[in-house]
Amino acid sequence: QVQLVESGGGLVQAGGSLRLSCTASGRTANNYPMGWFRQAPGKEREFVAAISWMGGNTYYADSVKGRFTISRDNAKNTVYLQMNSLKPEDTAVYYCASPSQRNIAGTYSYTGTYDYWGMGTQVTVSS
């Protein structure tokens, strides 16, 4: 079983920055890709970013490309999401997720690809 715990959410003004963290336990997450998703009230959960298990490949939703950066520290079993130039439309609960298989090429943006999810952390961007 894998436990994922997100942290770093909060309230920030538009144009500001936040860094989210997701720490995994119960399994060595180093050998698995990781993803970030978000869900705003009344909307479906949507893909934000993903990173390969070695960190060499990163993927982003068009809506966050150029503003968000996903990274990982395998020594700490932690994945990060640096969010810059935040907009009110970025307001959502942010979830990290991990699949149970290593090769998710082509499917990294689908919620069904991921088997383990954290409880989420709230990000609120005020205008």
pLDDT in tens, 35-89: 999 999 999 999 999 999 888 899 999 999 999 999 999 889 999 999 999 999 9
Instruction: Please say if the pLDDT value at position 29 is more than 60.
Output: no
What was the pLDDT predicted at 103?
Answer: 85
Question: What would the two tokens of residue 40 be?
Answer: 């705003």
Instruction: Please say if the pLDDT value at position 105 is more than 90.
Output: no
What was the pLDDT predicted at 35?
Answer: 97
What was the pLDDT predicted at 44?
Answer: 97
Q: Give Cα separations from 56 to 25, 33, 47, 76 (angstroms).
A: 22, 10, 19, 17
- Measured between alpha carbons, how far is 21 from 82 in angstroms, rounded to an integer? 9
Percent of the chain topping pLDDT 70: 98
Under the banding of pLDDT at 50, 70 and 90, the label for residue 28 is low
Mean pLDDT of 23-44: 88
Residues 118, 29 contacting (CB under 8 angstroms)? no
Q: Which residues, including other chains, have CB under 8 Å from residue 119's CB and lie 6 or more apart?
A: 5, 6, 95
